[in-house]
Amino acid sequence: MSKHYAVFGSPITHSQSPRIHAAFAKQTGIGMDYVAIAANHDDFRAKLDASGVVGANITLPLKEDAFALCAGNVSARALRAGAVNTVLRDGAQWRGDNTDGLGLVRDLTERHGLDLRGRRTLLLGAGGAARGVAPALLDAGIHSLYVINRNSARADALVDAMGEPGRTHARAWDTLPALGEFDLLINATSASRGGQLPSLAMALVAPRSVAVDLSYGEAAVPFLAWARAAGCAQTVDGLGMLVEQAAESFLLWHGVRPDTAAVFAELSGRADALLTAD
């Protein structure tokens, strides 16, 4: 009998997660169904409990809500991040984990061949997405991490949670032009989902800079277009990260890690077609 899984968030109609997990299930011969469920801060817990799922992925804007919902029953990496993107039913409660950071690092290093070591890194945003990837970037050996957020208190909180003073820095958005060049620039904000890209100085870009947007498809276009215009050597959207973090979630639920190459190839071809269509 198939078990039930879902992804919760808002907006959610664009999500490729059901397609990804259907492909993983077919590949591994595991019986499961997986759907997208729209939820916001006020109804997330009720919808999760009523859904009948045994496991779920959590996306914007609910990753910190999911962390609170798990009430301390979380993995070490989720605890460090203060955000949860994967839950598994644990009796009457939920157990939480965060596969975002591992998914991002795996995509950048294995699929795109990037050496993250020694890179001066700019992280735009301090919400659940940023919290999920910050610890893994530090563990991957980046030189330093500058967190920029319009709400400076959230940037301060993220940096404090990392526990690496001198290597992590919180800065206000209006200080961006004076921060110098970065080797790795990551957009973890949701602003570009509405086509609204905050003003960024081209002086942030160095000759070998790589720009990464944690979103994918049309939501990633504004930031990556700016990055190319500013002279970034390479730009990467969040589709590969999505596939890799999904594979890690699948492993947590089923004890099997699916192969991601064919799934990424299919989805990236589909995304290219959508972005180039008239």
| Helices then strands, each counted (H, E), the chain | 10, 11
- The annotation status of 113 as a binding-site residue, yes or no, is no
- The annotation status of 126 as a binding-site residue, yes or no, is yes
- Residues 7, 58: contact at Cβ < 8 Å? yes
- The annotation status of 129 as a binding-site residue, yes or no, is yes
- The annotation status of 59 as a binding-site residue, yes or no, is yes
Residue of 3, 26, 47, 63 marked catalytic: 63
Amino acid in position 100: D
Other CB atoms within a 10 A radius of the CB of residue 72 amount to: 9
- The annotation status of 141 as a binding-site residue, yes or no, is no
Q: Residue 109's Cα: distance from chain center in Å?
A: 15
- The annotation status of 16 as a binding-site residue, yes or no, is yes
- The annotation status of 17 as a binding-site residue, yes or no, is yes
Q: Among this protein's residues, is 63 annotated catalytic? A: yes
**219 pairs with which residues across the strands?**
none
DSSP element (H, E) containing 23 = helix 17-28
- The annotation status of 125 as a binding-site residue, yes or no, is yes
- The annotation status of 214 as a binding-site residue, yes or no, is yes
For residue 113, count CB atoms less than 10 angstroms from its CB and return exposed for 0-12, middle for 13-18, buried for 19 or more. exposed
- The annotation status of 189 as a binding-site residue, yes or no, is no
- Residues 116, 145: contact at Cβ < 8 Å? no
Q: Cis link prior to 11 (omega < 30° from 0)?
A: yes
- The annotation status of 72 as a binding-site residue, yes or no, is no
- The annotation status of 128 as a binding-site residue, yes or no, is yes
Q: Where are the alpha helices (DSSP H) in 29-176?
A: 44-50, 63-69, 76-81, 100-106, 128-139, 152-162
Task: State the Rg of the chain over Cα.
Answer: 18
- The annotation status of 245 as a binding-site residue, yes or no, is yes
Residues belonging to the binding site are 15-17, 59, 85, 100, 125-129, 214, 216, 238, 245
Catalytic residues: 63
Residues belonging to the binding site for NADP(+) are 125-129, 214, 238
